[in-house]
Structure 1
């Protein structure tokens, strides 16, 4: 596939991390992401990908003043499920010290308006998992009539910061049945600064199901890995998934992209190409905690496809 250099040379949207772009049946692209203040969830829409840059953002929801939904609003995703809109996001409690930084849980908002920039976003509550522990980056997909959730969580008995899990769902905010670990950070490129597997995104193509994810600290070491399963496999069986031993997208000093990760997938305007959406910085050296450096920008580029159906993020 020939790439359009304009898709990789400059950010689509500046200072928007953890970007999520969804193209709906109405022909609009819907965009949401973490804002630098971590205090609200915004949505914008456009008929074109480039049009998202100048589209007016609408605030869908703001953090609470106190309590569990009052700090560090991270990584929202917007989904359309059975006629309603849903936003998945992570939130922590207000804390006077950094002890509250990694106190996140996953939550869901629901809106039954035709246009998600309108109407009321109702809080459906916390997604309850097997453990009451640090959890974030919920994403959902449907396969053969079953809805699944994939998310990152700290399992109390396992060293490290977060692993990736999968479960079936009984509705868009409730898990059912077995909750299975898909991957934990074991490779050196997954454990720099923090032992992290997070930020999953799902792509179904050519008889395969791909789950991309991000690893390591959120500085220039941040990078992306990939899990692959057959569409005929038992998705709740960890043995159904193969894991790339190498990162599929990492810092590229030639292109001036540092710490790429936390991606989503969408499609081109003609519907012919899959598009990789991700955030990255344009410099390596960061002053202070990388989480509070605002300059993680949204980029996008076409995915390369090979005759055997495999994909490449480079």
Structure 2
């Protein structure tokens, strides 16, 4: 007998930039930007639908009142890096805008205990990309025994807010190669409101490495693009990466789903189905700057795969059937 279940979106309200890790202990670990942008929360549950109601939730770090990490805590991601937990996030020293962007830099938090909700987190470490400009949205992935760091950063010369970069890592908070740009905003759907490539996330399947990313302003124009490379290709060579010319995931007004993006990938508990966790709003009449609208909600989506081994994203849904 095939067991099916239906997940209702959103799975967690008022949480933008959601990141989910299904760990070997059987828990889904969830973190995201909180509306106040002042702390990092982590929660866990055995199922995705239980993340909204779980009592296993902890604030693992709170911003200081002053200093380089004292404002606008954005897009935390928690990964298990060989034998310890790491949270990557971006923070700003203040709300000064330079060259059209807040002055965010990237940071890492390490926990060496099994349970990151109750464990001890080491002091914040700044992660140096070698380029001293606005940067954010770091993620990591391991391929052929090498860890890679993937993030968004403002190029000093190219117009726009951010491009996508990749580098190798020597440990969980140190890069071991120069930053290599693999994507920049260039298509019309990447430059609506703002020139943005950000929020990369990696999924490896079918002999390829896929990077989803988000583009344009954070209102209803926000959407997702896709990069791909053969898993045998040199990943630090920009020529290894092919870019889809059209968005792969975008607003569906008739379903009141607007600005879907900034995703992460996970699976069902048995690994049989690939899932995407993303944020979206259910309206467009945002008052003021979209950045301060709290109603970007974490949602789930099921991926399928075509005959060429590429992910098929389809349209965001109000409910998702699994099994």
TM-score w.r.t. the length of structure 1 is: 0.95
Distance 1:94 1:227 in 2: 33
Structure 1 stretch 114-123 or stretch 208-217: which is displaced more? 114-123
Are 1:16 and 2:21 matched, yes or no?
Answer: no
Partner residue in 1 for 2:176 = 176
Correspondence list, 1:14-163, <5 A: 14-56=13-55, 57-95=57-95, 102-163=102-163
Query: For structure 2, which runs of at least 5 residues remain unmatched after alignment?
Result: 315-323
Q: Deviations over 1:245-301 (max 9, x none)?
A: 000001111221100000000001221001011000001121100000000000001
Distance 1:28 1:10 in 2: 20
Is 1:258–1:280's contact at 8 Å kept on the other side of the alignment?
yes
Q: CA deviation at 1:151?
A: 0.4
Query: For structure 1, which runs of at least 5 residues remain unmatched after alignment?
Result: none
Is 2:97–2:103's contact at 8 Å kept on the other side of the alignment?
no
Partner residue in 2 for 1:211 = 211
Q: Deviations over 1:151-171 (max 9, x none)?
A: 000111111110000000111
Q: CA deviation at 1:82?
A: 1.9
Is 1:104–1:135's contact at 8 Å kept on the other side of the alignment?
yes
Is 1:124–1:173's contact at 8 Å kept on the other side of the alignment?
no
Is 1:150–1:166's contact at 8 Å kept on the other side of the alignment?
yes
Q: CA deviation at 1:107?
A: 0.1
Structure 1 stretch 263-272 or stretch 13-22: which is displaced more? 263-272
Partner residue in 2 for 1:286 = 286
Partner residue in 1 for 2:318 = none
Is 1:276–1:313's contact at 8 Å kept on the other side of the alignment?
no
Distance 1:252 1:150 in 2: 29
Distance 1:148 1:98 in 2: 29
Is 2:101–2:134's contact at 8 Å kept on the other side of the alignment?
no
Distance 2:255 2:121 in 1: 39
Deviation >2 Å, runs of 4+: 4-7, 97-101
Distance 1:123 1:187 in 2: 40
Q: CA deviation at 1:124?
A: 4.2
TM-score w.r.t. the length of structure 2 is: 0.93
- RMSD after superposition: 1.4
Partner residue in 1 for 2:269 = 269
Instruction: Sort the Cα spacing of 1:263 and 1:101 in 2 relative to 1 into closer, same or farther, 3 A.
Output: same
Partner residue in 2 for 1:247 = 247
Q: Deviations over 1:5-62 (max 9, x none)?
A: 943x520000000000000000000000000000000000011111111113200100
Structure 1 stretch 170-179 or stretch 36-45: which is displaced more? 170-179
SS of the aligned residue for 2:106 comes to strand
Is 2:129–2:178's contact at 8 Å kept on the other side of the alignment?
no
Are 1:195 and 2:195 matched, yes or no?
Answer: yes
Q: Count the aligned residue pairs.
A: 309
Partner residue in 1 for 2:317 = none
Partner residue in 2 for 1:312 = 312
Distance 1:286 1:123 in 2: 37
Q: CA deviation at 1:103?
A: 0.6
Distance 1:116 1:146 in 2: 24
Q: CA deviation at 1:77?
A: 0.3
